[in-house]
Amino acid sequence: MKLWEFTGHELLEKLAHQEITQEEILCALDKRREEVEPKVKAFVRIEKAPAPLDSPGPGAGFPGLPIAIKDNICIKNRPATCASRILEGFKPPYDATVIQKLKNAGFSIYGQTNMDEFAFGSSCENSCYFPTRNPWNLECVPGGSSGGSAAAVACGEAIWALGSDTGGSIRQPASFCGVVGLKPTYGRVSRYGLIAFASSLDQIGPFTRDIEDCSVLLKVIAGHDPKDSTSANLPVPDFLLSLGKDIKGIKIAVPKEYFSLSENMALEGITQEVNQAIGEAIEQLKKLGAKVQEVSLPHTEYAVSVYYILATAEASSNLARFDGVQYGLRAGAGSAEGADNLIQMYKRTRQAGFGSEAKRRIMLGTYVLSHGYYEAYYLRALKVRALIANDFANVFKDFDCIITPTSPTPAFKLGEKIQNPLAMYLSDIYTISINLAGLPALSIPCGFSSGGLPIGLQIIARSFDEEMLFRVAHCYEAHTSWHKMRPKI
Amino acid sequence: MLSKNDVARVAHLARIDLTEDELKLFARQLESIVQFIDKLKELDVSSIRPASHTPALKNVLRPDTIKDSLSKEAVLENAPKSLKGHFLVPKVIE
Amino acid sequence: MEYEAVIGLEVHAQLKTRTKAFCGCLTEFGAPANTQACPVCLGFPGSLPVFNEKALEYGMRAALALHCQVQGFTKFDRKNYFYPDLPKNYQISQYGLPLASGGFLEIEIAGAKKRIGIIRAHLEEDAGKLIHEEDNSLVDYNRAGVPLLEIVSAPEIYSPDEAYEYLASLKAILKYLEVCDCDMEKGSLRCDANVSLRMPGAKELGIKAELKNMNSFKAVRDALNYELKRQKEVLESGGSMRQETRLWDESAGKTRPMRSKEEAMDYRYFPEPDLPPFVLSDEEIKTIRAGLPELPAALKQRFISQYGLNSYDAGVLTSEKPLAEFFEACLRLYPRAKAVCNWISGPLSYELNSRNAGIESLKLEPEMLVRLIKLVDEGALSNLAAKALLTEMLNSGRPADELMQEKDLAQVSDRKALDELLDKVIADNPGSVRDYNSGKANALMFLLGQAMRLSKGRANPKLIGEMLKKKL
């Protein structure tokens, strides 16, 4: 086994026993990257000398261990572009709180990963740099928006990585790339330094190759941050204690709007192979002692609408600051004169700086907030959001977790959905509600399509009960070997 | 129905220059998205309180204590144009 | 035709916190451009706001003092519009659920009291400052993110003089509460005015103009006077008003329409997702209310009834809270209200005005003023000399006795010394002595004046008056 094939906790153990050195890890990753990066294109920026950049403090648990970071998380004095031309040349003068925490723990920041521009997308095709490809099949997308982080971890270019999830941007690419991806509870991880897409939905979370790494990484980045008013002031449990437990008697709900428990009755839109893989995973969980029962989340059909109203409205406002005044791209005012001069500078900068999907979402968000439409769309969406959250609360009165497919399909082909925004939006149908309700959820590999593409199982728990996610997922992982599969590339 | 004029009005609000082709494309695409999200109108939400924030969070405040500002250089370092310690923009006419 | 003027004022009061509304940058006036800014107030990507607890407290104090209902549930919204002084191209403000609403302010106009309604008071962040040059504009974000309380009056102000009184009363209250410096020159108090005319008795409001760019209370009054005259002329010549924003040009003494194209603003307000709401319990509101100081109108009334002051003197003494406190501190040491009042509203106020300073910035302790007044009352110091001494005391911060010795200003009541002094005056002015003796009473005044001059103002005037008459 090559060094890049090991997980983070395995490498830490080897380092602790002085079987390997940190230089050897970096060297192995470099070599792996040289082999596969030209094909996968997961990174938008690589640190040339990925030495431990910041001397870890005493007791730092992760001496020099490299980690890849999505390009929308600020690292002091390094570019952060959100894969958008409009942030060309921008170097934040500060570290995101998660970066500060990683540095304190001894991590070295190894490279920044590709994404859909401003996290707008589900395929990593909306990047101003290049599309990232799925390591399992280079014709396919890695998912998005955190496609670069997912692909890098899947093909061994990174041990682990951080992404962000607003409507599925961690879980869906994790599912497409056959890795573990976690969206923590809203408020569990500080958003300070995450370039906002939709402030009320965004969370930073880890990509790893197994559940133990996921729990280890969450422990590092989680916790109350006085710089983020939406950060929860709650203690962070020792997630490792949730691992290795059985799941006998755990009550699992399967919402009928997401998945049909009756055999050969796949829901519309879900592929037969996904249906089968999820069905088998549920059988496995039953075998392990879980009690599985069908439930209803009656407002599921409204989730995509609510999401695209709220997320684009917030985005239209969050992205207003990209105007050519303080940082990033700036276009000239052209031939405009007088009072039009400034307005033209704004308009041309934003025309040149934003890609097509960003423009589309800013337009939609502006529209739903504009005079005469606020109540019909935005306010109504806020109310339906409350109904959706309430659906989940009702289920969690009687159940410990909920299980669904992460995505109705395995990875699709590049170009397949890029011309049809609505079809692309619908690929997030199983992940979106979880952000609307603020709940924690993870995606774990649970099978493959006949074409050799990974399939992911989504586990959802109560707010701030990531321990339940880890407990169920770790138990499942211990009795399956999907997470050990590596793409042949 | 979203007209090209509606799209142009929104584009002006959002301060984005759109080409004629983009105007047409967005009018069509936004129209289909708006039709889709119109689904929400099926629901009677008159008695529902809007969920603008996570219910558990409230009264988050910081003490009135001083934190270091950035240096002037750091403030302006990313500026596309600056002059005499200020950001420079096309003339604003009041 | 006599039209009726209707005015509403929107006042932005800068809350006197040490740091900005949502970050730890200083709020000091006059710092070099862009030196009080950080990722948060610059709206750098990824930064997040956290609200300053003092700004909330000060906002509540002001709202309660203006008799507003403070809401138990309040939140921030985003007001979206593009402007280069707005770092994020949205302003964090309050729209749907403002901090407070439904209050009033009492003013005194021509001796009568009048209540002006306060529609709402809400918290928001300030924008940066634009400096216009020939071809470009420069932006300084030092002010961006400074906490403001916007106080919106009802359209119940019916003349420029009432507007002036409203502002003066509001300023006095905010200063008493110690929540705002109220310095219009430094921009810590700003005022926009909505003004329109209507037929007397009409219910509907006329079409209004919004006036901006007024940098003093006087400018507000002048701009309103000008604008009312202008509107009257337009209406009387058969024209019609159009709703517009007009800028006051101080040097020209005119308002002019803004040159930028006016478009119907669509601010696309929505709840600020980065800031959770505030739930203010009745207990908290009660605690803040209980901590409010005695406000100027009430204090003035008390000074009149408790100390027998006239309305004018009471008004002067309560114009600034520190002055009123100084007055009462003096009274605790020396309860002769009339004398203390005369010294404070007279010579001391004169000194403060000429120094353009408040009592709190001077090195004058109540003990020091009281000692000075006592010296006069005991006859040890003449009034004239005491006034000169007060100037010295304020300059040096030293006590009266010490300065009196040093400057040799003690009043001379020693009969032998005065005897000699008067002999010299009589000897030097034989003509006036003759005049007096031939019945010209004025001559006595002249001779006394000479005596005072010769004694450098130190001679006890009462004593030399008696002694001189005897000698002649």
Q: Are B6 and B29 a contacting pair, CB within 8 Å?
A: no
Listed as ranges, residues in chain C with pLDDT below 70 are: 1, 260-262
Domain co-membership, C334 together with C357: yes
**Per-residue pLDDT reduced to its tens digit, A389-439:** 999 999 999 999 999 999 999 999 999 998 888 888 888 999 999 999 999
Which tops the pLDDT comparison, B11 or A424?
Answer: B11
Shared domain for C384 and C270, answered yes or no, is: no
How many residue pairs bridge chain B and chain C with CB atoms within 8 Å of each other? 129
**Domain shared by C245 and C376, yes or no:** no
pLDDT band at residue A189 using 50, 70 and 90 as cut-offs: very high
Residue A145, pLDDT > 90, answer yes
pLDDT tens column, A202-227: 999 999 999 999 999 999 999 999 99
Inter-chain Cβ pairs, chain A and chain B, closer than 8 A: 158
pLDDT bin (cut points 50, 70, 90) of residue A53 is very low
Q: Are residues C122 and C268 in the same domain?
A: yes
A304 part of contact set with chain B, CB < 8 Å: yes
| Stated length of chain C | 472
Q: For C154-195, what is each residue's pLDDT tens digit?
A: 999 999 999 999 999 999 999 999 999 999 989 999 999 999
Give the active site residue among A122, A164, A169, A433: A169
Domain ranges of chain A: 3-247+401-484, 301-381
Residues of A with Cβ-Cβ distance to B9 under 8 angstroms: 370
Please judge whether A227 and C39 are an interchain contact, meaning their C-beta atoms are less than 8 angstroms apart: no
Q: Are residues C361 and C345 in the same domain?
A: yes
CA dihedral C255, C261, C266, C271 (to 10 degrees): -70
Please enumerate in sequence order all residues whose Cβ is within 8 A of that of C399, keeping only pairs 6 or more positions apart, or say none. C368, C371, C393
Boundary of a domain, candidates C253, C288, C323: C288
Give C-chain residues touching A382 at CB under 8 angstroms.
271
* Residue A322 forms contact with B (CB below 8 Å): no
Q: CB–CB of C136 and B90 under 8 A?
A: yes
Question: Best interface-test mutation with B: which of C34, C41, C57 has the largest number of B CBs within 10 A?
Answer: C34
Residue where one domain finishes, among candidates C226, C255, C288: C288
* Pair of tokens at residue C164: 């002036």
B92 touches chain C (CB under 8 A): yes
Shortest distance between the Cα of C146 and any Cα of chain B, in A, equals 12
Q: Which helix (H) or strand (E) holds C311?
A: helix C311-317
| Percent of chain A predicted with pLDDT > 90 | 87
CB A4 within 8 A of CB A160: no
Q: Which two tokens stand for residue A171?
A: 């879980």
Q: Which residue has the higher pLDDT, A61 or A121?
A: A121
Q: Which of residues 404-433 of A touch B (CB under 8 A)?
A: 421-422, 425
The CA distance from A319 to A302, in Å, is 25
Alpha carbon of B79: minimum distance to chain C alpha carbons (Å): 11
CA–CA distance, A446 with A153 (Å, rounded to integer):
17
First to last CA, chain A: 15
Residues C249 and C370 in one domain: no
Please check whether residue C138 touches A, CB under 8 A.
no
Q: What is the pLDDT of residues B47-67, one digit of tens each?
A: 999 887 777 789 999 999 999
Catalytic residue selected from A108, A123, A145, A316: A145
pLDDT over 50 at A486, yes or no: yes
Q: Are A300 and A433 in contact (CB under 8 A)?
A: yes
The answer on C165 and C190 residing in a single domain is yes
Q: What is the CATH number of the domain that holds C442?
A: 1.10.10.410
**CB neighbours (10 Å) of residue C264?**
5
Indicate whether C88 and C30 sit together in one domain: yes
For chain A, say whether C145 makes contact (Cβ under 8 Å): no
39-58 of B, contacting C, C-beta below 8 A: 52-54, 57-58
Cα distances (angstroms) measured from residue C435 to each of A53, C423, C428? 103, 17, 14
Shared domain check, C354 and C208: no
Cα gap A472→A454, rounded to integer Å: 20
Q: Do A147 and A141 contact (CB within 8 A), yes or no?
A: yes
Q: What is chain A's mean pLDDT, rounded?
A: 94
Q: What are A33's two structure tokens? A: 């990257």
Assign A164 to helix, strand or coil. strand
Residue A76 annotated among the catalytic residues of the structure? no
Predicted ipTM > 0.90:
yes
C198 lies in the same domain as C133: yes
Domains and CATH numbers, chain B: 4-42 (1.10.20)
Q: Look up A84 and say whether it is catalytic.
A: no
Give the A window 109-138 contacts with B, CB below 8 Å.
Answer: none
Q: Do the chains contact at A195 and C45, CB–CB below 8 Å?
A: yes
Kindly tell me if the per-residue pLDDT of A59 is higher than 60.
Answer: no
User: How many residues are listed for chain A in this entry?
Assistant: 489
User: If you classify domain A3-247+401-484 with CATH, what class do you get?
Assistant: alpha beta
> Does the beta carbon of C78 lie under 8 angstroms from any beta carbon of chain A?
yes
User: A372: how many CB neighbours lie within 10 A of its CB?
Assistant: 7
Q: What is the pTM of this model?
A: 0.91
- Residue A70 a catalytic site member: yes
Instruction: Indicate whether C367 and C255 sit together in one domain.
Output: no
**Residues C307, C324: Cα–Cα separation, whole Å:** 13
* Residues 60-89 in A contacting B (C-alpha not used; CB under 8 Å): 89
Please give the residue range of the domain that contains residue C245.
4-288
Q: How far is A381 from chain B (nearest CA, A)?
A: 7
CA–CA min distance B60, chain A (Å):
6
Q: What is the pLDDT of residue A339?
A: 65
Closest CA to A179 of A202, A159, A165: A159
Determine whether the interchain pair C46/A195 forms a contact, defined as Cβ–Cβ distance below 8 Å. Answer: yes
Q: Which residues of C touch B69 (CB under 8 A)?
A: 25-26, 35-38
Work out how many CB contacts closer than 8 A connect A with C.
104
Query: Are C403 and C435 found together in one domain?
Result: no
B11: Cβ contacts below 8 Å, ≥ 6 apart: A363, B17, B18, B23, B26
How close is the nearest chain A Cα to the Cα of B55, in Å?
Answer: 10
Last residue of a domain, one of C407, C442, C461: C407
Question: What is the predicted pLDDT for the residue at C468?
Answer: 82
Total structural domains within chain C: 3
Helices and strands of chain B, counted as H and E runs: 3, 3
Instruction: Convert the pLDDT of each residue in C342-375 to its tens digit.
Output: 999 999 999 998 888 888 888 899 999 999 999 8
pLDDT at A50: 55
